[in-house]
Protein backbone atom coordinates (compact mmCIF):
# COMPACT_ATOMS: atom_id res chain seq x y z
CA UNK A 1 0.00 0.00 0.00
CA UNK A 2 1.39 3.38 -1.04
CA UNK A 3 1.78 6.13 1.54
CA UNK A 4 0.54 9.60 0.78
CA UNK A 5 3.45 12.06 0.71
CA UNK A 6 3.59 14.62 3.51
CA UNK A 7 3.19 17.61 1.16
CA UNK A 8 -0.13 16.15 -0.03
CA UNK A 9 -1.44 15.77 3.54
CA UNK A 10 -0.34 19.30 4.40
CA UNK A 11 -2.18 20.65 1.35
CA UNK A 12 -5.36 18.86 2.47
CA UNK A 13 -5.21 20.33 5.96
CA UNK A 14 -4.57 23.81 4.56
CA UNK A 15 -7.56 23.47 2.25
CA UNK A 16 -9.80 22.51 5.17
CA UNK A 17 -8.63 25.51 7.18
CA UNK A 18 -9.19 27.95 4.32
CA UNK A 19 -12.73 26.70 3.66
CA UNK A 20 -13.69 27.00 7.32
CA UNK A 21 -14.05 23.29 7.96
CA UNK A 22 -11.91 23.60 11.08
CA UNK A 23 -14.31 26.16 12.60
CA UNK A 24 -14.62 29.95 12.55
CA UNK A 25 -13.94 32.44 15.32
CA UNK A 26 -16.92 34.50 16.50
CA UNK A 27 -17.01 37.97 14.86
CA UNK A 28 -15.97 40.95 16.93
CA UNK A 29 -18.69 43.25 18.28
CA UNK A 30 -18.11 46.96 17.65
CA UNK A 31 -19.14 49.78 20.00
CA UNK A 32 -19.33 53.55 19.54
CA UNK A 33 -19.58 56.31 22.13
CA UNK A 34 -23.18 57.45 22.58
CA UNK A 35 -24.50 60.99 21.91
CA UNK A 36 -25.02 63.55 24.66
CA UNK A 37 -27.97 62.74 26.91
CA UNK A 38 -30.28 65.48 28.19
CA UNK A 39 -30.97 68.90 26.73
CA UNK A 40 -29.45 71.15 29.40
CA UNK A 41 -27.09 73.85 28.17
CA UNK A 42 -24.28 75.84 29.67
CA UNK A 43 -25.27 79.11 31.37
CA UNK A 44 -24.47 82.12 29.24
CA UNK A 45 -23.98 79.98 26.13
CA UNK A 46 -24.07 81.07 22.48
CA UNK A 47 -20.40 81.91 21.93
CA UNK A 48 -19.79 83.44 18.52
CA UNK A 49 -16.05 82.72 18.14
CA UNK A 50 -14.59 79.51 16.71
CA UNK A 51 -13.59 76.87 19.27
CA UNK A 52 -10.97 74.40 18.07
CA UNK A 53 -10.87 70.92 19.64
CA UNK A 54 -7.33 69.62 19.47
CA UNK A 55 -6.55 65.86 19.11
CA UNK A 56 -7.28 63.97 22.33
CA UNK A 57 -4.22 62.43 23.99
CA UNK A 58 -4.59 58.90 25.38
CA UNK A 59 -2.35 56.83 27.67
CA UNK A 60 -0.61 53.86 25.96
CA UNK A 61 -3.06 51.24 27.26
CA UNK A 62 -5.96 52.97 25.49
CA UNK A 63 -4.34 53.45 22.10
CA UNK A 64 -5.60 50.18 20.59
CA UNK A 65 -9.18 49.49 19.55
CA UNK A 66 -9.74 47.00 22.36
CA UNK A 67 -12.17 48.01 25.12
CA UNK A 68 -10.31 48.03 28.44
CA UNK A 69 -11.95 46.80 31.65
CA UNK A 70 -10.40 46.28 35.08
CA UNK A 71 -10.59 42.62 36.09
CA UNK A 72 -10.08 42.45 39.86
CA UNK A 73 -6.47 41.97 40.96
CA UNK A 74 -5.37 41.31 37.36
CA UNK A 75 -5.66 45.00 36.50
CA UNK A 76 -6.79 46.41 33.14
CA UNK A 77 -7.63 43.79 30.52
CA UNK A 78 -9.00 44.02 26.99
CA UNK A 79 -12.44 42.46 26.55
CA UNK A 80 -12.25 39.56 24.12
CA UNK A 81 -14.20 40.24 20.92
CA UNK A 82 -15.29 43.72 22.06
CA UNK A 83 -13.78 46.58 20.07
CA UNK A 84 -14.31 50.29 19.60
CA UNK A 85 -15.87 51.00 16.22
CA UNK A 86 -13.04 53.42 15.47
CA UNK A 87 -9.92 54.85 17.14
CA UNK A 88 -10.92 55.96 20.64
CA UNK A 89 -9.16 59.34 20.46
CA UNK A 90 -11.04 60.18 17.26
CA UNK A 91 -14.36 59.07 18.73
CA UNK A 92 -13.74 61.24 21.80
CA UNK A 93 -12.83 64.26 19.68
CA UNK A 94 -15.94 63.89 17.53
CA UNK A 95 -18.14 63.51 20.61
CA UNK A 96 -16.66 66.60 22.28
CA UNK A 97 -17.38 68.63 19.14
CA UNK A 98 -20.98 67.43 18.90
CA UNK A 99 -21.59 67.88 22.64
CA UNK A 100 -20.20 71.43 22.73
CA UNK A 101 -22.13 72.46 19.63
CA UNK A 102 -25.28 71.42 21.46
CA UNK A 103 -24.39 72.87 24.84
CA UNK A 104 -23.16 76.20 23.46
CA UNK A 105 -25.87 76.59 20.79
CA UNK A 106 -23.17 77.15 18.19
CA UNK A 107 -21.91 75.40 15.05
CA UNK A 108 -18.55 77.12 15.57
CA UNK A 109 -16.93 74.16 17.33
CA UNK A 110 -14.63 72.09 15.15
CA UNK A 111 -11.93 69.46 15.22
CA UNK A 112 -8.40 70.59 14.44
CA UNK A 113 -7.41 71.85 11.89
CA UNK A 114 -10.99 73.08 11.44
CA UNK A 115 -12.54 74.95 8.51
CA UNK A 116 -10.19 76.70 6.14
CA UNK A 117 -9.42 80.30 7.09
CA UNK A 118 -10.94 79.92 10.55
CA UNK A 119 -9.36 81.94 13.34
CA UNK A 120 -10.03 80.16 16.64
CA UNK A 121 -11.10 82.12 19.66
CA UNK A 122 -10.10 79.21 21.91
CA UNK A 123 -8.18 75.96 21.58
CA UNK A 124 -9.21 73.03 23.81
CA UNK A 125 -6.68 70.31 24.63
CA UNK A 126 -7.69 67.13 26.44
CA UNK A 127 -5.37 64.61 28.08
CA UNK A 128 -7.05 61.41 29.27
CA UNK A 129 -5.53 59.96 32.44
CA UNK A 130 -8.03 57.16 33.00
CA UNK A 131 -10.92 55.88 30.91
CA UNK A 132 -11.88 52.51 32.33
CA UNK A 133 -13.80 50.75 35.08
CA UNK A 134 -15.01 47.40 36.36
CA UNK A 135 -18.33 45.59 36.17
CA UNK A 136 -20.04 48.15 38.43
CA UNK A 137 -18.45 51.60 37.93
CA UNK A 138 -16.77 53.49 35.08
CA UNK A 139 -14.28 56.29 35.81
CA UNK A 140 -13.01 59.12 33.65
CA UNK A 141 -10.06 61.28 34.76
CA UNK A 142 -8.75 63.96 32.46
CA UNK A 143 -6.91 67.27 32.28
CA UNK A 144 -8.27 70.02 30.04
CA UNK A 145 -6.34 73.05 28.84
CA UNK A 146 -8.05 76.00 27.15
CA UNK A 147 -5.80 78.56 25.52
CA UNK A 148 -5.99 81.67 23.39
CA UNK A 149 -4.05 81.19 20.14
CA UNK A 150 -4.25 84.95 19.53
CA UNK A 151 -2.75 85.95 22.88
CA UNK A 152 -0.58 82.81 23.06
CA UNK A 153 -1.42 82.06 26.66
CA UNK A 154 -3.27 79.48 28.73
CA UNK A 155 -6.63 80.69 30.00
CA UNK A 156 -7.70 77.62 31.97
CA UNK A 157 -6.16 74.31 33.03
CA UNK A 158 -8.30 71.98 35.14
CA UNK A 159 -8.45 68.37 36.27
CA UNK A 160 -11.69 66.45 35.94
CA UNK A 161 -12.90 63.23 37.54
CA UNK A 162 -16.26 61.50 37.14
CA UNK A 163 -17.45 58.02 38.10
CA UNK A 164 -20.66 56.55 36.70
CA UNK A 165 -22.50 53.46 37.93
CA UNK A 166 -23.23 50.88 35.24
CA UNK A 167 -26.93 50.39 34.51
CA UNK A 168 -26.77 46.68 33.76
CA UNK A 169 -24.13 44.16 32.80
CA UNK A 170 -21.94 43.60 29.79
CA UNK A 171 -20.08 45.73 27.28
CA UNK A 172 -23.12 47.75 26.18
CA UNK A 173 -23.76 49.01 29.73
CA UNK A 174 -20.02 49.66 30.10
CA UNK A 175 -19.90 51.83 26.95
CA UNK A 176 -23.07 53.67 28.00
CA UNK A 177 -21.44 54.58 31.34
CA UNK A 178 -18.28 55.69 29.52
CA UNK A 179 -20.38 57.95 27.30
CA UNK A 180 -22.17 59.46 30.31
CA UNK A 181 -18.81 60.24 31.94
CA UNK A 182 -17.79 62.09 28.78
CA UNK A 183 -21.15 63.91 28.83
CA UNK A 184 -20.23 65.31 32.23
CA UNK A 185 -16.79 66.31 30.94
CA UNK A 186 -18.37 68.14 27.99
CA UNK A 187 -20.69 70.04 30.34
CA UNK A 188 -17.72 71.09 32.47
CA UNK A 189 -15.85 72.34 29.38
CA UNK A 190 -18.91 74.25 28.18
CA UNK A 191 -19.38 75.91 31.56
CA UNK A 192 -15.72 76.94 31.65
CA UNK A 193 -15.76 78.31 28.10
CA UNK A 194 -18.65 80.63 28.90
CA UNK A 195 -16.73 82.21 31.79
CA UNK A 196 -13.51 82.99 29.91
CA UNK A 197 -12.60 86.57 28.95
CA UNK A 198 -13.80 87.60 25.50
CA UNK A 199 -10.84 89.96 25.05
CA UNK A 200 -9.01 87.02 23.47
CA UNK A 201 -11.44 87.09 20.56
CA UNK A 202 -10.20 87.26 17.00
CA UNK A 203 -12.33 88.22 14.03
CA UNK A 204 -15.92 87.20 14.54
CA UNK A 205 -16.89 84.03 12.71
CA UNK A 206 -19.68 84.29 10.13
CA UNK A 207 -23.07 83.03 11.20
CA UNK A 208 -23.99 79.58 9.95
CA UNK A 209 -26.77 79.32 7.41
CA UNK A 210 -29.50 76.71 7.33
CA UNK A 211 -30.14 75.19 3.93
Asked, for residue 130, whether it belongs to a domain, the answer is: yes
- Give Cα 45 distance to the centre of its chain: 23
Asked, for residue 201, whether it belongs to a domain, the answer is: no
**Buried residues in 179-209 as b, exposed as e (16+ CB within 10 A):** bbbbbebbbbbbebbbeeeeebbeeebeeee
Residues 139-187 have pLDDT tens digits of 999 999 999 998 999 999 999 999 999 999 889 999 999 999 999 999 9
- CATH code of the domain in which 83 resides: 3.40.50.10610
Please count the structural domains in the chain: 1
Asked, for residue 55, whether it belongs to a domain, the answer is: yes
CA–CA gap between residue 135 and residue 70 (Å, rounded) = 8
Asked, for residue 207, whether it belongs to a domain, the answer is: no
Global pTM? Answer: 0.80
Give yes or no for a contact between 147 and 155, defined as CB atoms under 8 angstroms apart: yes
List the domain range (segments joined by +) for residue 81.
Answer: 26-32+46-195
Asked, for residue 15, whether it belongs to a domain, the answer is: no
Asked, for residue 177, whether it belongs to a domain, the answer is: yes
Asked, for residue 37, whether it belongs to a domain, the answer is: no
Residues 15-69 have pLDDT tens digits of 555 555 445 667 889 999 999 987 666 555 556 789 999 999 999 989 988 998 8
Asked, for residue 2, whether it belongs to a domain, the answer is: no
Amino acid sequence: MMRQPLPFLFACLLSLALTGCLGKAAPDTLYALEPLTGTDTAPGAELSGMIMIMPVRLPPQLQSRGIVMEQGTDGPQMLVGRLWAGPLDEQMGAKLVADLQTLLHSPNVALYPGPRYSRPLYQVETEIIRFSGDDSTFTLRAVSTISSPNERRILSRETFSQSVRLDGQGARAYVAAASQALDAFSRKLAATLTTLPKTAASDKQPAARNF
